Structure 1
Amino acid sequence: MLEGLPPNGATHVMRLRANEAAARAAADLVGESFDPAEVATSAFEIEDGAAWLAEAYFAEPPDEEAVRELVELAAPGCGAAVAFDTLERKDWVAASLEGLAPVAVGRFVVHGSHDRERIGPNRIGLEIEAALAFGTGHHGTTQGCLAGIAAFGKKRRPQRTLDVGTGTGVLAMAAARLFHTPVLASDIDRVAVATAKANARANRAAPEITFLHAPGLGARAFRNGAPYDLIVANILLPPLKRLARPLRPLLAPGGTVVLSGLLPSHANAALAAYRAQGLHLRRRRTIEGWVTLELAADAGRPLR
């Protein structure tokens, strides 16, 4: 899932200062309207809750009038308040992570190098430094998936795990560090795969993880590694729906699928696609306005 930081080589940023509802709505609609590899959005609180800021980072100069129209559609009266700025290519990464506090989910703590010494001995520290991919752990989708991995670990240890859309590799590393069993992590973005490999080496998780540059689930490597007791996919609704049918035969009997990258309005559509493949909902989490679904196979339902 590409989230949390500007896209590779981001050159422009849009900013909107507004109330929480308007900022979230603007960030969501702008994010849904562009290729996630080219645009990344966020909405966060500023000035101790007195206001919120919506931001959108663009890999190419945006059509400012079109973006204003999207913001106006999402948050009426706010289109005129949108401001655009040009970024210095070499400064945005460090600025994006500077000051971010560690994020704790179960035993996992996602952190930057500046907080390395603050991680307790009984925690699993996942260090994600400034990089050309996304997944700092501060996004609700990442937190929801980490919670799903942690919940699975309370019941049993998977023999194999599959992470689809690995981004920085944070979810693959979490599974590898918690379970110490093989993980296959794939991404459609070559830069993300290279970054995830570097992160895995830095986090002492590389021996358990095989990284794969591949779109979808058609590559032979997915079938060769199957079945997977735990499958995690933190991407977006359209690709999640497309993955439902090819993913099902890869799931081990009694296995669990964790899906995120979903707005509340999208969750039922994703659930319907996977129910059609014989999966049922075990748990639904909502964190910071993003939904994570934990699914399992219906007993006795044949594979399709």
Structure 2
Amino acid sequence: MNQTRIHLTAARQTAEMIYAELERAFEDDGFPVAILELDEARDLHEVSLYVPAEGLGDAEATMREIASRFEPKLSVEAEEVPDIDWVAHSLEGLKPVRAGRFFVHGSHDRSLRPSSGIAIEIEAGLAFGTGHHGTTAGCLEVIERVVRREKPRSALDLGTGSGVLAIAIAKLAQIPVLATDIDPIATRVAGENVRLNNASRLVHTVTATGFHNPAFSAAGPFDLIVANILARPLMKLAPDMARNLSVGGSLVLSGILDSQRDAVLAAYVGQRFRHVSTLHREGWSTLHLKR
């Protein structure tokens, strides 16, 4: 089945924000969204949305409307493409990412792994989270700080996606990590990446919605919880986070636009969380909280 690629080119910060809004807008439709660096020196990044022919009109209008919120004069174009492996397309040319001690890379960059630090190989499959997004890289940096200072004994990666954060915690801290996602495809991909990184002994992947699955009570409470999802779900989950975090534990939250940071923080202060720090990266906030 042929698809149409609707795409635009923008500076990295604008492209990242448009990418996030498109993910939200087309989450229920399941239309793939991809972001690719075209030219580092000129700060050019391409955002693409892949839709079937019957969904083209509405999808293109929505993408134009979203793009205009951030930059009114952005050009949105469409082209018909054959039935392609859109994941391979979106990952093509991605460079390795360094975040603190972590080096996140694809299989094509194994030769570039540093002799020191912690290498994590990620093939995103149908679940994104390769480390290139500002929220993922921000989480990796905060995770390193928390593990070094607090030495947690158990951890939860809520909304694991590709599994990169769970793998990072397991490799750095050598502790058990529960990695959950509401999407069974994401859970499967995370499991594959866990095995690829020889972390199966420590990381347990589960498909679960909210905190109702018995896996949470079996593994918790947790000394460290990391959740890189979206601002609104994070705010709703504040009471559950409080119940599942151990006394003195740390909570790392991301998937939060800078403009949403205060609202998310207020929801957690209401649950008696204390703000430790905020890391700002590419228009996104990563919060470190304790209770």
TM-score w.r.t. length of structure 2: 0.89
Find the aligned partners of 2:4 and 2:141 in 1 and give their Cα distance. 33
1:134 to 112, 117, 128: 128
Find the aligned partners of 1:117 and 1:159 in 2 and give their Cα distance. 32
Larger mean Cα displacement after TM superposition, 214-223 or 18-27: 18-27
Find the aligned partners of 1:169 and 1:28 in 2 and give their Cα distance. 19
1:26–1:54 Cα contact (<8 Å) kept: no
Q: Secondary structure at the match of 1:155?
A: helix
Name the structure 1 match of 2:62.
66
Go from structure 1 to structure 2 and tell me whether the alpha carbon gap of 1:205 and 1:269 turns closer, same or farther (over 3 Å shift).
same
Go from structure 1 to structure 2 and tell me whether the alpha carbon gap of 1:83 and 1:219 turns closer, same or farther (over 3 Å shift).
same
Find the aligned partners of 1:129 and 1:25 in 2 and give their Cα distance. 23
Alpha-carbon shift at residue 157 of structure 1 (Å): 2.0
What are the residue-to-residue correspondences of 1:208-227 with 2, within 5 Å?
208-227=202-221
Alpha-carbon shift at residue 142 of structure 1 (Å): 0.4
Alpha-carbon shift at residue 289 of structure 1 (Å): 1.6
Percent identity between the two aligned chains:
41
Alpha-carbon shift at residue 98 of structure 1 (Å): 2.4
Which residue identity does 2:238 align to in structure 1?
A
2:124–2:162 Cα contact (<8 Å) kept: no
Q: Secondary structure at the match of 1:101?
A: coil
Find the aligned partners of 1:185 and 1:127 in 2 and give their Cα distance. 17
Name the structure 1 match of 2:224.
230
Counterpart check, 1:34 vs 2:29: no
The unaligned stretches of length 5 or more in structure 2 are none
Which residue identity does 2:199 align to in structure 1?
A
2:255 to 242, 250, 261: 261
Name the structure 2 match of 1:270.
264
Name the structure 1 match of 2:47.
55
Name the structure 1 match of 2:8.
16
Find the aligned partners of 2:14 and 2:164 in 1 and give their Cα distance. 30
Q: Secondary structure at the match of 2:237?
A: helix
Find the aligned partners of 2:141 and 2:69 in 1 and give their Cα distance. 34
Alpha-carbon shift at residue 151 of structure 1 (Å): 0.4
Which residue identity does 1:76 align to in structure 2?
P
2:35–2:90 Cα contact (<8 Å) kept: no
2:14–2:70 Cα contact (<8 Å) kept: yes
Go from structure 1 to structure 2 and tell me whether the alpha carbon gap of 1:217 and 1:102 turns closer, same or farther (over 3 Å shift).
same
2:3–2:83 Cα contact (<8 Å) kept: yes
State the aligned residue count.
286
Name the structure 2 match of 1:76.
72
Q: Secondary structure at the match of 1:181?
A: coil
Counterpart check, 1:46 vs 2:39: yes
Q: Secondary structure at the match of 1:197?
A: helix
The unaligned stretches of length 5 or more in structure 1 are 1-8, 298-304
Alpha-carbon shift at residue 111 of structure 1 (Å): 0.4
Name the structure 2 match of 1:247.
241
Alpha-carbon shift at residue 239 of structure 1 (Å): 1.0
Counterpart check, 1:104 vs 2:98: yes
1:282 to 248, 270, 276: 276
Find the aligned partners of 1:296 and 1:72 in 2 and give their Cα distance. 38
Go from structure 1 to structure 2 and tell me whether the alpha carbon gap of 1:260 and 1:59 turns closer, same or farther (over 3 Å shift).
farther
Once superposed, what is the RMSD of the aligned Cα atoms?
2.5
Alpha-carbon shift at residue 24 of structure 1 (Å): 5.5
1:23–1:43 Cα contact (<8 Å) kept: no
Alpha-carbon shift at residue 11 of structure 1 (Å): 4.3
Q: For each residue in 1:131-179, what CA deviation from the matched residue of structure 2 results, as whole angstroms up to 9, or x when unmatched? A: 1211111110000111111001211321110000000100000011111
Q: Secondary structure at the match of 2:276?
A: strand
